[in-house]
Chains A and B, each alone.
Chain A
């Protein structure tokens, strides 16, 4: 390392005239002056702390928190409505509300005064079970119950006009058996009891 000639310090500090310096020292002083001007012109460097903090990326809040913030912050929503489409939408909603229950659920369409009669009977070992009654003119073999399940239970459901009906089960096409689960029964005037089902309108 070359020590700086003390005369350069003295010239930079103005203690001696630069014209009195030898040519090589005068050029050295001029280069140092130019460097000092460049440094003075440059912007002051940021401090260490601010540079470190700037290098650390701030973590984003979670999606849920952002969603909650978005939902809880007042938003300006602009809706542009075409009256024709709005009326069509209203008509569709109204129609959906008025469509009978069964149709909406994929079953049969239920009228205003119709309901569901459900039949359940346990007949282990039976090959067939039909329900016969005043709702089908007592025709045997036309309304089969589904089954049996693993417990020997047979089931069926009918759409019927609201009202009162007498019925019996016919097992294996020959045995007439009243519904032991029925809440109501009445003498059939032939020496036996018919079961009674009261069908209430679903849309009540």
Chain B
């Protein structure tokens, strides 16, 4: 029985490696492919998500970035993934943490959230998904809200039962108050009073839905 389980696992790694090389071939400088591939394999062995690294390499190739800079960017990406996983574990997530959550934390760090803020969000939302909460705080920080105050608002919203996309509505409401001329503190106070009834983001119009197309190669679910 163990052998039956082990054989597919042993076959899966080389197949995954081959598929990464196939995806990079012709799209990334040839001299960078071997190094990038090895970095992707390291990530896989560490149970880290590999797709962000592949995407970074493909992005570098599409932008005609020189091979050493593509490799450097992928190396930075691997470091960020490790940092994200470690941060999740420190904040209380039990290993193995899911690749999706690691990616979420990396997004938050790349968008400029301090590690302490990310830890507070993780503690407030013990169970995933946390991506929207991270983005909501990052949106506030990007608009020069105090990170701690912004985090407190989003955590208040979480405590009042808001989840996922609704948390983005909270940050959007605060930013709109700012655009109406309120100070940062006033904007946060106004939105905190509205919780949990902040306005919801408008749904896409009928025209937008009709016009929308899937990217080539993407299959409908």
Q: Given A108-B220, A111-B220, are A190 and B212 also a contact pair (CB < 8 Å)?
A: no
Report the separation of the CA atoms of residues A184 and B216 in the bound assembly, to the nearest whole angstrom. 25
Please provide the chain B residues from 172 to 221 with a CB less than 8 Å away from any CB of chain A in the complex: 201, 203-204, 206, 208-218, 220-221
| Contact B62–A186 (Cβ < 8 Å) | no
Q: How large is the interface on A (under 10, 10 to 19, 20 to 34, 35 or more residues)?
A: 35 or more
The residues of A that contact B49 with a CB separation of less than 8 Å are none
| Contact B214–A108 (Cβ < 8 Å) | yes
The residues of B that contact A110 with a CB separation of less than 8 Å are 209
Question: Is residue B21 within 8 Å, beta carbon to beta carbon, of the partner chain?
Answer: no
In the complex, what's the smallest C-beta–C-beta distance from A98 to chain B, in angstroms? 15
Count the A-B residue pairs with Cβ separation under 8 angstroms: how many?
122
Report the separation of the CA atoms of residues A164 and B203 in the bound assembly, to the nearest whole angstrom. 17
Say which residue of A109, A118, A189 sits within 8 Å of B204 (CB atoms).
A118
| Contact A111–B212 (Cβ < 8 Å) | no
Question: Is residue A139 within 8 Å, beta carbon to beta carbon, of the partner chain?
Answer: yes
Closest to B57 in A: A138
Question: Is residue A102 within 8 Å, beta carbon to beta carbon, of the partner chain?
Answer: yes
Question: Is residue B99 within 8 Å, beta carbon to beta carbon, of the partner chain?
Answer: no
The residues of B that contact A189 with a CB separation of less than 8 Å are 56, 72-73, 76-77
Report the separation of the CA atoms of residues A183 and B176 in the bound assembly, to the nearest whole angstrom. 12
Question: Is residue B61 within 8 Å, beta carbon to beta carbon, of the partner chain?
Answer: yes
Closest to A112 in B: B221
In the complex, what's the smallest C-beta–C-beta distance from A16 to chain B, in angstroms? 108
Q: Which of A3-11, A44-52, A129-137 contacts B (4 or more CB under 8 A)?
A: A129-137
Question: Is residue A106 within 8 Å, beta carbon to beta carbon, of the partner chain?
Answer: yes
Say which residue of A102, A176, A188 sits within 8 Å of B209 (CB atoms).
A102
Closest to A113 in B: B221
| Contact A108–B107 (Cβ < 8 Å) | no
Question: Is residue B135 within 8 Å, beta carbon to beta carbon, of the partner chain?
Answer: yes
Question: Is residue B37 within 8 Å, beta carbon to beta carbon, of the partner chain?
Answer: no
| Contact B212–A159 (Cβ < 8 Å) | yes
Q: Which of A61-69, A87-95, A196-204 contacts B (4 or more CB under 8 A)?
A: A196-204
| Contact A187–B110 (Cβ < 8 Å) | yes
| Contact A184–B211 (Cβ < 8 Å) | no
The residues of B that contact A140 with a CB separation of less than 8 Å are 62
The residues of B that contact A163 with a CB separation of less than 8 Å are 131
| Contact A138–B209 (Cβ < 8 Å) | no
The residues of A that contact B111 with a CB separation of less than 8 Å are 184, 186, 196
| Contact A109–B220 (Cβ < 8 Å) | yes
| Residue among B65, B214, B215 having the largest count of chain A Cβ atoms under 10 Å | B215
| Contact A202–B203 (Cβ < 8 Å) | yes
| Contact B220–A107 (Cβ < 8 Å) | no
Question: Is residue A142 within 8 Å, beta carbon to beta carbon, of the partner chain?
Answer: yes
| Contact A108–B213 (Cβ < 8 Å) | yes
Closest to B76 in A: A189
Q: Given A102-B209, A200-B168, are A138 and B62 also a contact pair (CB < 8 Å)?
A: yes
Which 9 A-B residue pairings sit nearest by Cβ, starting from the closest?
A111-B221, A157-B212, A107-B210, A138-B62, A189-B73, A116-B204, A136-B215, A138-B58, A200-B165
Can you list 26 A-B pairs with a CB-CB distance of less than 8 A? A102-B210, A102-B212, A106-B210, A115-B204, A116-B208, A116-B209, A118-B208, A134-B55, A137-B23, A137-B55, A137-B58, A138-B63, A139-B216, A157-B204, A157-B209, A157-B211, A158-B215, A161-B221, A164-B131, A184-B142, A186-B110, A194-B59, A200-B201, A201-B165, A202-B203, A202-B204
